[in-house]
Amino acid sequence: MTSSEVWDAATAAAYDADAAAQFAPGVLGPTVDLLHELAAGGPVLELAIGTGRVAVPLAERGLDVTGIELSEAMVAQLRHKVPATEIPVVVGDMATATAPGAGDYALVALVWNTLSNLRTQDEQVACFANAARHLRPGGRFVIELWVPPIQRLAPGEHAVPMTVSAEHVVIDTYDLLTQSCASHHYHHDPDGTVRSGVGHFRYAWPSECDLMARLAGLEPEARWADWDRTPFTATSPSHVSVWRKPQGVS
């Protein structure tokens, strides 16, 4: 049984509007460009495909895209955009679910911090193994993940403001012993109402991801700070990391 929170119909219906910044051309364009290049024309599996923010434009570029998604409500939102014949989706846990064509994907993608939806280390390790199981020899697994800004925590404090605007405030709270995080969101809607919600996650360090990949039999290929391939440094707030399944490994 997964530890991930399952997004309900109300959350799914508001997802695209709440995540509007992630749909902006300056954000989505480089994401899709790099994923399209890494796929090299082969089939793509997106874990936690959601409402298709990334999958739909990849499919529009001619790639065969399949998804795995835990929330049926999110898949229902995707179906407003494309039918199942264009982007098939398996409803299930990204750490264990099997998509059609497992073992033949050129690219498995897990974007926008979604690895952290798996709230135990064992599940995150299993996710890497599941990604590797779906890849063809030479195929790539790419993730986008934030680097927890715990260096901003003052001694004895556990909360960090992540986003502060007139429309949206996000405050993250951390438990450094369990690597758990809770994101507290407050949305100020145009009608004057305020919506609030909290999501729970487990953060993982870049070096920890490298070890998970190694356990899955994957080899490191690249790491950047973002989809524009900005060099990754000790102060980068996020990373886009790529691992490759060795040739000759089934």
User: What does 102-154 look like in DSSP terms, one character per residue?
Assistant: TT-EEEEEE-TTGGGGS-SHHHHHHHHHHHHHHEEEEEEEEEEEEPP-GGGPP
Q: Which residue has better confidence, 100 or 3?
A: 100
Structure tokens at 150: 């715990």
At residue 7, does pLDDT exceed 80? no
Instruction: Report pLDDT for 14.
Output: 84
At residue 111, does pLDDT exceed 80? yes
Q: How far is Cα 167 from Cα 190, in angstroms, rounded to an integer?
A: 9
- Helix intervals (H) in the chain: 9-18, 20-23, 25-39, 55-60, 72-79, 121-134, 206-215
Structure tokens at 7: 């997004």
Structure tokens at 219: 């080899």
Nearest Cα to Cα of residue 15 among 62, 49, 57: 49
- Helix intervals (H) in 40-120: 55-60, 72-79
At residue 163, does pLDDT exceed 90? no
Residue extent(s) of CATH 2.20.25 domains in the chain: 150-199
Instruction: Report pLDDT for 187.
Output: 83
Q: Which residue has better confidence, 93 or 190?
A: 93
When pLDDT is averaged across residues 109-124 and rounded to a whole number, the result is 96
The answer to whether residues 133 and 110 touch, using CB atoms and an 8 Å cutoff, is no
Is the pTM higher than 0.85? The answer reads yes
Q: Is 82 exposed, middle or buried (0-12, 13-18, 19+ CB in 10 A)?
A: middle
When pLDDT is averaged across residues 74-103 and rounded to a whole number, the result is 96
> What pLDDT, in 10s, does the model give residues 207-230?
999 999 999 999 999 999 999 999
Class (C level, CATH) for 150-199: mainly beta
Give the pLDDT band (50/70/90) at residue 1: low
> CATH number of 9-147+204-244: 3.30.1330.60, 3.40.50.800, 3.40.50.150, 3.40.50.10470?
3.40.50.150
Residue extent(s) of CATH 3.40.50.150 domains in the chain: 9-147+204-244
% of the chain with per-residue pLDDT over 70: 99
Instruction: Report pLDDT for 233.
Output: 97
Structure tokens at 169: 């405030």
Give the pLDDT band (50/70/90) at residue 188: confident
Q: Is 1 exposed, middle or buried (0-12, 13-18, 19+ CB in 10 A)?
A: exposed
Q: How far is Cα 23 from Cα 183, in angstroms, rounded to an integer?
A: 21
Q: How far is Cα 210 from Cα 121, in angstroms, rounded to an integer?
A: 13
When pLDDT is averaged across residues 167-178 and rounded to a whole number, the result is 89
- Phi and psi angles of residue 60, each rounded to the nearest 5 degrees, phi first: -65, -20
Give the pLDDT band (50/70/90) at residue 195: confident
Give the pLDDT band (50/70/90) at residue 160: confident
At residue 250, does pLDDT exceed 90? no
Q: Which residue has better confidence, 210 or 149?
A: 210
Average pLDDT, the chain: 93
When pLDDT is averaged across residues 106-120 and rounded to a whole number, the result is 96
DSSP state of 222: E
Give the pLDDT band (50/70/90) at residue 204: very high
